[in-house]
């Protein structure tokens, strides 16, 4: 893992924040969007024996103030815990693993 989040040619990793765990998503950093299918396009992601149809969603945000509107990008996935290291592997399909 590189810092808070990182990516290899086929991996996206990050540490789950309290907000991500509480609201049931994995944050996708803007500069890592190309790892995933285009925003809004459905794809399948597997975790253990569970496969879900998911998509990268753009969430409007004003966390920097109303004059600096922007978007955050997320993939919804419930059941993750704060502090877990999450890895999404792309190898013909998307596979999520969580540890910690």
- Does residue 63 surpass a pLDDT of 90? no
Higher pLDDT pick, 37 / 1: 37
Q: How many domains does the chain have?
A: 1
pLDDT of residue 1: 36
* CATH code: domain of residue 58: 2.40.330.10
Other residues' Cβ atoms within 10 Å of the Cβ of residue 5: 17
| Domain interval for residue 32 | 5-99
40: left (phi over 0), alpha (psi -120 to 50) or beta: left
């Amino acid at each position: 893992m590189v810092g808070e989040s990182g990516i290899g040619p086929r991996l996206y990793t990050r540490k789950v924040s309290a907000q991500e765990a509480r609201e049931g998503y994995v944050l996708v950093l803007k500069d890592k969007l190309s790892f995933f299918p285009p925003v809004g396009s459905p794809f399948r992601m597997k975790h253990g024996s569970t496969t879900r149809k998911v998509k990268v969603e753009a969430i409007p945000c004003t966390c920097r103030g109303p004059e600096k509107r922007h978007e955050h990008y997320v993939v919804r996935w419930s059941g993750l815990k704060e502090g877990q290291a999450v890895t999404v592997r792309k190898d013909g399909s998307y596979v999520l693993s969580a540890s910690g």
